[in-house]
């Protein structure tokens, strides 16, 4: 086989590609929402929780940040059933991605909160708000706005990292690629195409995040550099 | 079937950890070398070189590391020169690392205040003198914490080499799992070993960052 | 003797015309204070004088040598024109002594012992000889600015440009820097300073130049200019700042 590219042999597999794409996109959308939500809770509790809560959460964040995603995924999918907790592949992927994104984002948010919190918290207290109320109404949004670019990047990293969920047989984009190349033996073309799709997904994600950011953080348009 | 005790498992995992470390070192040293060249290409006055390096960085940061591995592994085969998983993993991780380090280092060079360039210029220094005596020493100090921090990403990245059949820590874990069916113990141990490699580096990076911060440089 | 000669200099940033034909000549040993509203082009003029900005048209000569990339190297330029910035711009990774010695060493290629001797001299002049081995971060703002002045002097420039060198300082630190400049003026150093310190301009400057919308709107001896402004713009400016 000479070094020629032949993308036409991919055509019959359009439906597999579509299925893979759908799975990757759905997983990403859902875990971005759950992951960021969980991150807010973790970031809040790491500052304001009981000592043992703070301790436990620090452990979770550090372990997650210092082990490979694929090992986390294997631990959840293969390891937990050993304890009698049975989960299917897509659920394992969902849990692993959520926990992973939440750990990184909680750390990012914590930086944003500590940069924002002091003055805002005092202002909130002066207005008679409780800590939780202050967070909800006057700390969280500015903190989020401050670290929003880092959160975008982290969400994209998790999306790209989700390629390894194919290893537990989740039918995502990479799984589709593996599937197709095992049939048509055109591995290079397949992976090139899929890589391009990931690139477009990353690009699209950044764009949509920025559009959302523009609306949500519209109040600070004036001060944006 | 062979019986594995806990200690057999641990011993096998520890042996495999060596290859994780070796691959990480190759990727980091290779990546730093290529990354250094890229950083200077990025800073050169040629618009073409700037664009080219920016594109390189965007491509590697915008695609999964797993795909980069596959493309190199299968791409080499498609070109008629099949390479081993060793080579594929080393090359892919080197390129991946170089793109991120280039981005980090460029950021550090740009983080040195514009006024420093002006002051050097006004004192009569040319580009290279300014770079050497004024900008680089400051950028270097800024770059150490994030560079150490990124080494953690490199170590974690090597886990993906398991997917193309390179036997390092993660692959050893899955192989042992297939032989023993003790997934909980094995993957907990695998995670623990990665943690033992990565956590000290993370702490060191944080310590260095704090030191810079306290010195008023950040 | 004319040291700095500026002839019909223009400078625009895109569509924004910032300098619209500046004519100015400064004699050897003269102290010229440039005043004017924010955005009138004072900094831009100063930055053209040492080519941090390239002027679009017109001619600038220093000691009869034309100022442009073709006829003056950065090294030569730095031996003619020194500059002190509002934000000090000291090199934070080098000690005070190293800050002062760096350019004479690497740009002029002078010997280490000689350079160190000069460094001690100029630091003495700004009253900081005891800070030779300190790092900039260990000094007060006023001290840092005095180091910056010493660093510029170590290149022995013919003229020293100062762009609002006291604006970033706490009020109680302004005096020590102004006293250093005053002493330099008394020694015969040629100074061109952009300043908001009207009292200083009145007491120390030989001539005050009022810039308005990219042009030199009015100039003259400080006593005359401040007590008897001719144009409504200068009148308004003076009443606003005094
Ligand atoms: N590099 C640049 N690019 C674009 N515009 C510039 C640049 N530098 C200065 N300007 C503009 O040129 C005009 C004059 O600026 P300049 O800094 O010379 O004013 P100034 O008289 O020094 O004011 P100030 O008292 O505030 O320092 C301003 O409108 C400024 O925004
Ligand atoms: Mg100015």
Q: How confident is the model over B88-143, as pLDDT tens digits? A: 999 999 999 999 999 999 999 999 999 999 999 999 999 999 999 999 999 999 99
Write down the ipTM of this complex: 0.93
Phi, psi of A27 (to 5 degrees): -55, -45
Instruction: Say if CB C173 and CB C141 are below 8 A apart.
Output: yes
Q: Which of B119, B133, B137 sits opposite C85 (nearest CB)?
A: B119
> Burial, A25: exposed, middle or buried (Cβ in 10 Å; 0-12, 13-18, 19+)?
middle
Domain ranges of chain A: 9-224
The rounded Å distance from CA C86 to ligand 2 centre is 9
Ligand 1: does its nearest atom lie under 6 Å from the Cβ of C52?
A: no
Q: Which residue, among C47, C187, C43, has the nearest Cα to C126 in the 3D structure?
A: C187
Sheet holding C57-62, edge to edge: C16-27, C2-13, C57-62, C65-66
Which positions 55-74 of C are in contact with B (Cβ < 8 Å)? Answer: 74
- C158 three-state secondary structure: coil
Q: Given pLDDT bands bounded at 50, 70 and 90, which one contains residue A114?
A: confident
C92 with B138: Cβ contact below 8 A:
yes
pLDDT-based confidence at B144, cuts 50/70/90? very high
Burial of C136-155, coded b for 16+ CB within 10 Å and e otherwise, reads beebebbbbbbbbbbbbbbb
The two tokens of residue C9 are 């200099």
Closest CA to C191 of C219, C163, C215: C163
Q: Using a CB-CB distance cutoff of 8 angstroms, which residues of chain A are in contact with residue B199?
A: 62, 66
Find the DSSP H helices in C154-227.
Answer: 171-187, 198-204, 222-227
Given an 8 Å threshold on Cβ–Cβ distance, is C89 in contact with B116? yes
- pLDDT over 80 (residue A121): no
Cα B98 → chain centroid = 7
Please provide residue A138's backbone torsions phi and psi, each rounded to the nearest 5 degrees.
-125, -10
For B118, the closest chain C residue by CA position comes to C52
Please give the pLDDT value at position A224: 42
Residues A34, A96 contacting (CB under 8 angstroms): no
The model's pTM: 0.87
Q: Are B74 and A198 in contact (CB under 8 A)?
A: no
Task: Report whether pLDDT(A225) > 50.
Answer: no
- C-alpha distances (whole Å) from B198 to each of B24, B92, B181, C197, C225 are 11, 20, 27, 57, 70
**pLDDT attached to residue B42:** 92
Count of domains observed in chain C: 1
Residue located via tokens 């330029």: C77
User: Which residues on adjacent β-strands are paired with residue A171?
Assistant: none
Pairing of strands C31-36, C207-212: parallel
Answer yes or no: is C126 within a domain: no
**What pLDDT, on the 0 to 100 scale, is given for residue A140?**
83
As a whole number of angstroms, the longest Cα–Cα distance in chain A is 75
Per residue in C199-229, pLDDT tens?
999 999 999 999 999 999 999 999 999 999 9
- Closest-CA residue to C204 (of C217, C223, C227): C223
When pLDDT is averaged across residues C104-119 and rounded to a whole number, the result is 94
- Which H or E element spans position C31? strand C31-36
DSSP C97: H
CA dihedral A95, A97, A100, A104 (to 10 degrees): -130
**What pLDDT, on the 0 to 100 scale, is given for residue B154?**
97
Q: Does domain B6-214 have CATH number 1.10.3720.10?
A: yes
Q: What is the CATH number of the domain that holds C219?
A: 3.40.50.300
Q: How far is CA B206 from the centre of its chain?
A: 17
**Which CATH code for domain A9-224?**
1.10.3720.10
Neighbours of chain A (3+ CB pairs under 8 A): B
The answer to whether A16 and A179 are in contact (CB under 8 A) is yes
**Residues A61, A63, A66, A70, CA torsion sign:** negative
Specify if C148 maps to a domain.
Answer: no
In chain B, what residues touch C93 (CB-CB under 8 Å)?
137-138, 141
**How many alpha carbons fall within 13 Å on the CB side of residue B40?**
10
Provide the 8-state DSSP code for B189: H
Q: What is the pLDDT of residue A3?
A: 53
């Amino acid at each position: 086989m000479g070094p020629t590219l032949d993308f036409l042999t991919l055509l019959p597999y359009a439906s597999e590609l579509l299925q893979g794409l759908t799975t990757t996109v759905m997983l990403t959308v859902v875990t971005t929402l759950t992951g960021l939500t969980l991150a807010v809770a973790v970031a809040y509790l790491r500052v304001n929780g009981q000592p043992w809560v703070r301790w436990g959460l620090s452990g979770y964040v550090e372990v997650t940040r210092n082990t490979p995603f694929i090992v986390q995924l294997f631990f959840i999918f293969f390891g937990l059933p050993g304890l009698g907790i049975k989960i299917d592949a897509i659920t394992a992927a969902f849990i692993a991605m959520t926990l992973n994104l939440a750990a990184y984002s909680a750390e990012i948010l914590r930086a944003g909160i500590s940069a924002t919190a002091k003055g805002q918290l005092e202002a909130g207290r002066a207005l008679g708000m409780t800590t939780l109320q202050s967070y909800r109404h006057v700390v969280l949004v500015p903190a989020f706005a401050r670290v929003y670019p880092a959160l975008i990047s982290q969400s994209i990293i998790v999306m790209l990292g989700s390629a390894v969920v194919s290893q537990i047989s989740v039918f995502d984009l990479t799984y589709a690629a593996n599937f197709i190349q095992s049939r048509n033996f055109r591995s290079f073309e397949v992976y090139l195409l899929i890589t391009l799709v990931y690139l477009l997904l990353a690009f699209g994600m950044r764009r949509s995040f920025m559009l959302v950011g523009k609306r949500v953080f519209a109040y600070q348009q004036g001060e944006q550099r | 079937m062979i019986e594995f005790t806990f200690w057999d498992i641990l011993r096998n995992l520890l042996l495999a950890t060596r290859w994780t470390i070796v691959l990480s070192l190759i990727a980091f040293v290779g990546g730093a070398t290529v990354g250094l060249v890229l950083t200077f290409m990025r800073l050169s006055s040629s618009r073409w070189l700037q664009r080219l390096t920016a594109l390189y960085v965007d491509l590697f940061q915008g695609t999964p590391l797993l795909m980069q591995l596959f493309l190199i592994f299968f791409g080499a085969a498609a070109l008629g020169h099949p390479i081993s998983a060793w080579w594929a993993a080393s090359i892919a991780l080197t390129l991946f690392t170089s793109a991120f380090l280039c981005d980090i280092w460029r950021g550090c060079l740009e983080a040195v205040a514009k006024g420093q360039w002006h002051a050097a210029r006004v004192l009569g220094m040319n580009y290279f003198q300014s770079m050497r005596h004024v900008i680089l020493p400051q950028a270097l100090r800024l770059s150490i914490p994030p560079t150490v921090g990124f080494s953690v990403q490199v170590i974690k990245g090597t886990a993906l080499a398991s997917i193309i059949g390179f036997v390092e820590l993660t692959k050893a874990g899955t192989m042992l799992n297939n032989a023993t069916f003790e997934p909980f113990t094995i993957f907990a141990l695998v995670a623990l070993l990665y943690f033992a490699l990565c956590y000290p580096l993370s702490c060191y990076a944080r310590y260095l960052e704090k030191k810079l911060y306290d010195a008023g440089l950040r | 003797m004319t040291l700095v000669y500026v002839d019909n200099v223009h400078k625009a940033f895109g569509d924004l015309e910032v300098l619209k034909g500046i004519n100015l000549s400064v004699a050897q040993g003269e102290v010229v204070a440039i005043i004017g509203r924010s955005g009138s082009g004072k900094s831009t003029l100063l930055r053209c004088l040492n080519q941090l900005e390239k002027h679009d048209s017109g001619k600038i000569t220093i000691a009869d040598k034309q100022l442009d990339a073709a006829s003056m190297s950065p090294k030569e330029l730095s031996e003619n024109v020194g500059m002190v910035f509002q934000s000090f711009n000291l090199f934070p990774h080098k000690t005070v002594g190293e800050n002062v010695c760096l350019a004479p060493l690497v740009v002029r290629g002078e010997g280490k012992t000689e350079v160190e001797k000069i460094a001690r001299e100029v630091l003495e002049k700004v009253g900081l000889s005891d800070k030779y081995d300190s790092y900039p971060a260990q000094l007060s703002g006023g001290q840092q600015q005095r180091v910056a002045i010493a660093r510029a002097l170590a290149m022995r420039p013919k003229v020293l440009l100062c762009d609002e060198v006291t604006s970033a300082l706490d009020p109680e630190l302004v005096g020590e820097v102004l006293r250093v400049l005053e002493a330099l003026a008394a020694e015969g150093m040629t100074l061109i300073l952009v300043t908001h310190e009207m009292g200083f301009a009145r007491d120390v400057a030989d001539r005050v130049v009022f810039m308005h919308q990219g042009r030199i709107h009015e100039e003259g001896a400080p006593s005359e200019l401040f007590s008897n402004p001719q144009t409504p713009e200068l009148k308004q400016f003076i009443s606003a700042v005094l």
